[in-house]
Structure 1
Amino acid sequence: MKKILFYRRGGLGDTLLTFPVLEVLKKQGYRIAVIGVKAYYRLAQKVGWVDEIYEDLYPQVLNRPYDLKIFFSKNGGIYPFPDKRIWIVDYYFRYLKLPQIYSQTLPIEGLKESPFKNRIILHPGSGSPKKIPEFLLFRKIEEFLKKKGMDYIYVVGEADQWVKDLTSNFWEIEDLEFLAKAFKTARGFIGLDSGISHLASYVGIKTFVFFGPTDYIVWHPIGPNLQIITLDLECSPCFPKVCAESPCLDPEKLFLQFLKKADL
């Protein structure tokens, strides 16, 4: 069997955006070893798109015989970012000259007993505070959901512990595979540009993602039921050089944009 070594280090969202490439390579008959965050790539392993996972560039791994090595890195290999505003997944496929025939939904089954069943999931956090608007945005969303008679719950990750000070209605993330399966049972998801939002969209549920200073054209999630909400200001995108005023994260204006698309 042909063997590939694949490297693209990054956060959860960055990792999920490589899954279509791994899926297509697996369909071509490769045995695939990846180097990256094990907790993230285990999802690809679970659905059969990855065979081996390594956390680091171990010499004993790098020196094995491979038919192909694919390295997305600033320090050699393929530059990990496109030089123009195209979706990162399209960039990967064009560079590697692969057929773009892949799953729009992560093929993972939902849980029978899920903390999110028929509920709206709210996630007001992100890996960078520069992407986070005032919590007022989610207070307004709470009011909207209550008026609609919809049950909701917040999810809290490692970087979102501050949410616990603002609500007692939350579920804390412990295991990504459990989270993905639990998300499948939800009525919908509302969040920011974060890895958790990428996961929600990829499992196929209705997903609303607020983009401010980051580029939604390049970094939007995979998924058939994704709605992107952005003010689309002339000064955006600007990440990571974000201005102090952050008009692209105005909670009042973002909420009004959400109301235009809130077909929950």
Structure 2
Amino acid sequence: MKVLVLHQGAIGDFILAIPAIWTAYLALKPEELHLVGHPSSTEVLKGVFWVKKIWDVNLYPFSTLWFKPIKDLDFKMALVFSKASEWQNALKGSGVKEIWMLPPFPKERIPLFHHHLKNLKSYGISLKTEYMGLFFKEEEKEEALKFLEKKGIRGPFFAVHPGAGSPKKIWPPERMANLSNWLYDRFECFPLVIKGPADQRACDEFLKYINVPHLLIENLPLRKLGALLKFASFFLGNDSGIAHLAAFSGCQTFVLFGPTDPVVFMPYGPYVRCIKKGEEIDEIKEEDLKETLQNYLSK
């Protein structure tokens, strides 16, 4: 049996669906599992052993699925992380016999990854799975270590991400830089600064105020970045796709929340600490984080 999984969410939302996708794979035991989504999100599973192929939802044939069936679509089953009846009807017209529609967001206040697993239960899948990580190959981990060595990073380092997808989710970059300076001076922990495509303004502001040695990483492919994060002492950043990547990679993750609800959008991983003080992210004070990080680093 060939199974198609469609998810067109952003990085963080897609990562929070991976536990459900993996659980479905284990339960259904398909001969092949194919993913359809945005490459900027689905690349986190590029090359993993259980995903046969990844398709770009923006390109033919799947870009046409909103308004017409796809001829000769060779899948018996589809898992669709959407409520869109257009996709359901087009898949039926494409010859897909069994279609599971999985609403992307919960109506109740529960973690998003739990919501996806709960949706699977409604289709008879209640298989319990433990944290699985991003299925890094040994060569990916070795490449990450070689990268760090080449850049001269041999001692403890932490990853810091000043940006986010929305300005309302960005803790003042000056404070993030001040905290990074303090971490280097107090604990000799080297800052690895992450900059993504949407982080120009926040990163420029951050770099004005950081005054200790650091390394800026720009637009690294997600799996390479995830492998680096696996070796970080911890990650510090805003509620963003990169925070979800850090947590899922197994890195101790400290993620700052403003208007979004950490109960629903908390990252999935074994070592996650969500920090929220109010609806505005700048209500979080530097001293609050210093206390939290000092307690962690003093263990």
Same topology, TM > 0.5: yes
Alignment deviations for residues 48-76 of structure 1 (CA, whole Å, 9 cap, x no partner): 23212111224576852433221122423
Alignment deviations for residues 90-114 of structure 1 (CA, whole Å, 9 cap, x no partner): 1111111132314343231422213
Equivalent-residue separation in structure 1 for 2:129 and 2:256 (angstroms): 27
Secondary structure in 1 matching 2:198: helix
What is the aligned partner in structure 2 of residue 136 from structure 1? Answer: 174
Q: In the alignment, is residue 95 of structure 1 matched against residue 119 of structure 2? A: yes
What is the aligned partner in structure 2 of residue 37 from structure 1? Answer: 38
Contact 1:93–1:100 (Cα < 8 Å) also in 2: no
Equivalent-residue separation in structure 2 for 1:166 and 1:137 (angstroms): 8
* Deviating more after overlay: 11-20 vs 76-85: 76-85
1:106 to 119, 134, 145: 134
Alignment deviations for residues 2-40 of structure 1 (CA, whole Å, 9 cap, x no partner): 222111211111111111122222223122112102243
Question: Which TM-score applies when normalising by structure 1?
Answer: 0.85
In our comparison, the structure showing a higher alpha carbon Rg is 2
Contact 2:37–2:56 (Cα < 8 Å) also in 1: yes
**Matched pairs, number:** 248
Contact 1:134–1:251 (Cα < 8 Å) also in 2: no
Q: In the alignment, is residue 81 of structure 1 matched against residue 105 of structure 2? A: yes
1:225 to 271, 279, 283: 271
Question: Which TM-score applies when normalising by structure 2?
Answer: 0.75
What is the aligned partner in structure 2 of residue 259 from structure 1? Answer: 290
Equivalent-residue separation in structure 1 for 2:25 and 2:227 (angstroms): 22
Q: Which consecutive residues of structure 2, in runs of 5 or more, have no partner in the other structure?
A: 86-100, 209-213
Offset at residue 45 of structure 1 (A): 3.8
Equivalent-residue separation in structure 1 for 2:292 and 2:72 (angstroms): 51
Offset at residue 165 of structure 1 (A): 5.0
Offset at residue 200 of structure 1 (A): 0.8
Task: Spell out the pairing of 1:3-82 with structure 2 (5 A cutoff).
Answer: 3-28=2-27, 29-30=29-30, 31-56=32-57, 57-58=62-63, 64-76=73-85, 77-82=101-106
Equivalent-residue separation in structure 1 for 2:84 and 2:274 (angstroms): 32
Equivalent-residue separation in structure 1 for 2:10 and 2:145 (angstroms): 29
Structure with the larger helix share? 2
Equivalent-residue separation in structure 1 for 2:117 and 2:227 (angstroms): 27
Contact 1:122–1:189 (Cα < 8 Å) also in 2: yes
Equivalent-residue separation in structure 2 for 1:61 and 1:32 (angstroms): 18
Secondary structure in 2 matching 1:6: strand
Contact 2:24–2:120 (Cα < 8 Å) also in 1: no
Residues 103 and 45 of structure 1, relative CA distance in 2, 3 Å threshold? farther
What is the aligned partner in structure 1 of residue 96 from structure 2? Answer: none
Which one scores higher on RCO, CA 8 angstroms, separation ≥ 6?
1
